[in-house]
């Protein structure tokens, strides 16, 4: 372990005394022994033990899940149960290793095993069936390679592979080739449908609204907008190459770094766009949105956000670190985004509560 020098102010107030006493108290073995025998405390200490174990071993779960996806083990089970030795043969593993993996898969609730026959458990079927989940699981290996040594990772002393994976965040479309933009857009498209569902549960556009989705990629989001609200006309604004030419909506090519946003829309949405960018870029982009909207126009921001007021595992552990690794990205709380919106001039900024904060949180704001 690294020898870390701690710098601490010399003053020793009551808070510091209490903190030291508490830390010493919890780490004493006799305290732990006592806690494990007292009814309520026993549950508490077991839970703490489990939580520490979970944090320590979570990477093993992650890699088992990745193997189930990448090796095609889950996909093999899609059509029905298979014998362990057949699965082993398909995966090119010996039967004992496959048995070990299947036991782990049972513990993670990915598969069931009954009399040496393996079938998909509900969780495994969801991983396989929900659009984009398998691709999302797979692309995380880039982040985990970056994080293999957390010291240079958090010091910023390294070349982040994840930043190379999302190059468009660094500049204008001239610096990014169309094929790369199309590849990233595809990953976002596949993972879009849950975000769109939760966003459209919160937002109801008025009849015949004209909707512009800025950074809308392939148009997966607006496709769901118009499917749910057929009277709405939708347009995507994005870099060249991000769009797949899907019918049912218009596409305007441009960059919000260099171009003004098109006018004439009642609603402008930014779906999973802000968290890719620095505060300056976000402020400029939101100002462009404000300028482009008519009076009474709506802005919809939807993306995963920090836990507010309390940090949580989704926003503050995962998304904050992911966007940190992108280098120009930053996960923000709903309040931080709302404050910027109010500064720019938006009124009635509303944060819509969402049941799945790991998918998205939605903010709606109106231009005066």
Ligand X SMILES: C[S@@+](CC[C@H](N)C(=O)[O-])C[C@H]1O[C@@H](n2cnc3c(N)ncnc32)[C@H](O)[C@@H]1O
Q: Interface residues with ligand X (CB under 6 A)?
A: 168, 181, 185, 188, 192, 195, 215-217, 220-221, 238-239, 242, 255-257, 271-273, 276
Between 124 and 315, CB nearer to ligand X: 315
Q: Whole-angstrom distance between the N-terminal and C-terminal Cα of the chain?
A: 56
Round to whole Å and give the CA distance between 1 and 217: 44
Output 192 or 331, the one with its CB closest to ligand X: 192
For residues 271 and 221, the answer to whether their CB atoms sit within 8 Å is yes
Question: Does the CA dihedral 193-199-200-205 come out positive or negative?
Answer: negative
At 257 the three-state DSSP class reads: coil
Q: Nearest distance from residue 315's CB to ligand X, in Å?
A: 16
Question: What whole-number distance in Å separates Cα of residue 40 and Cα of residue 52?
Answer: 19
- Comparing CB distances to ligand X, the nearer of 79 and 280 is 280
Distance CA 275, CA 324 (A): 10
Task: Output the smallest distance, CB 345 to ligand X, in A.
Answer: 22
CB nearer to ligand X: pick between 252 and 344: 252
**Nearest distance from residue 276's CB to ligand X, in Å?**
5
Q: What is the DSSP string of 191-214?
A: THHHHHHHHHHH--PPTT-EEEEE
Closest contact distance (angstroms) between CB of 39 and ligand X is 48
Least spacing, CB of residue 168 vs ligand X, in Å: 5
Q: Indicate the residue among 99 and 298 with the shorter CB distance to ligand X.
A: 298
Q: Which is nearer to ligand X, 45 or 191 (CB)?
A: 191
In this complex, which beta carbon is closest to ligand X, that of residue 105 or of residue 216? 216
How far is the C-alpha of 178 from the C-alpha of 271, rounded, in Å? 21
Residue closer to ligand X (CB basis): 186 or 316? 186
- Structure-block tokens of residue 35: 């806690």
233-238 vs 111-114, strand pairing mode:
unpaired
* CB of 326 vs ligand X, minimal distance in Å: 10
d(CA 127, CA 242): 26
User: Which residue's Cβ lies closest to ligand X?
Assistant: 215
* Token pair in block for residue 161: 């592979």
Helices (H), 206-333: 220-228, 279-292, 320-325
Residue 105 or 219: the one with the smaller Cβ distance to ligand X is 219
CA distance 168 to 155: 23
By beta-carbon proximity to ligand X, the closer residue of 218 and 338 is 218
DSSP per position, 20-76: HHHHHHHH-HHHHHHHHHSHHHHHHHHHHHHHHHHHHHHHHHHHHHHHHHHTSHHHH
Give min distance, CB of 287 to ligand X, in A: 15
CA–CA distance, 245 with 275 (Å, rounded to integer): 25
Shortest Cβ distance from residue 307 to ligand X (Å)? 21
Min CB(205)–ligand X separation in Å: 17
CB of 284 to ligand X, least distance (A): 10
Q: CB under 8 Å, gap of 24 or more: what pairs does 53-59 form?
A: 59/144
CA dihedral (18, 24, 30, 36) positive or negative: positive
């Amino acid at each position: 372990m690294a020898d870390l020098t701690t710098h601490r102010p010399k003053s020793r107030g009551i808070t510091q005394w209490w903190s030291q006493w508490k830390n010493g108290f919890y780490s004493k073995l006799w305290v732990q022994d006592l806690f494990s025998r007292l009814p309520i405390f026993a549950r508490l200490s077991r839970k703490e033990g489990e939580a520490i174990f979970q944090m320590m071993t979570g990477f093993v779960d992650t890699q088992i899940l990745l193997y189930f996806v990448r090796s095609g083990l889950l996909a093999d089970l899609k059509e029905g149960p298979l014998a362990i030795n057949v699965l082993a043969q398909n995966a090119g593993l010996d039967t004992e290793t496959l048995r070990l993996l299947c036991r782990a898969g049972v513990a993670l609730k990915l598969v069931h095993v009954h009399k040496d026959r393996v079938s998909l458990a509900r969780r495994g079927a969801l991983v396989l069936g929900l659009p984009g989940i398998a691709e999302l699981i797979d692309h995380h290996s880039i982040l985990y390679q970056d994080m293999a040594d957390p010291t240079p990772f958090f010091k910023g002393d390294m070349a982040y592979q994840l930043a190379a994976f999302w190059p468009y965040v660094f500049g204008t479309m001239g610096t990014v080739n169309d094929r790369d933009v199309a590849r990233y857009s595809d990953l976002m498209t596949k993972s879009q449908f849950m975000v769109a569902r939760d966003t459209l549960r919160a937002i109801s556009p008025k009849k015949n609204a004209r909707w512009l989705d800025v950074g809308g990629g392939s148009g997966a989001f607006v496709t769901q907008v118009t499917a749910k609200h057929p009277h709405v006309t939708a347009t995507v604004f994005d870099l060249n190459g991000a769009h797949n030419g899907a019918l049912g909506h218009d596409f305007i090519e441009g960059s919000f770094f260099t171009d003004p946003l098109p006018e004439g829309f009642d609603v402008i949405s930014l779906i999973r766009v802000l968290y890719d960018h620095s505060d300056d870029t976000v402020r400029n982009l939101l100002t462009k949105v404000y300028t482009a909207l008519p009076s009474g126009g709506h802005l919809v921001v939807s993306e995963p956000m920090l836990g507010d007021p309390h940090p949580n595992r989704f926003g503050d552990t995962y998304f904050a670190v992911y966007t940190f690794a992108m280098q120009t990205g930053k996960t923000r709380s709903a309040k931080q985004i709302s404050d910027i919106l109010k500064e720019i001039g938006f009124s009635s900024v509303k944060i819509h509560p969402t049941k799945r904060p790991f998918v998205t949180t939605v903010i709606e704001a109106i231009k005066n």
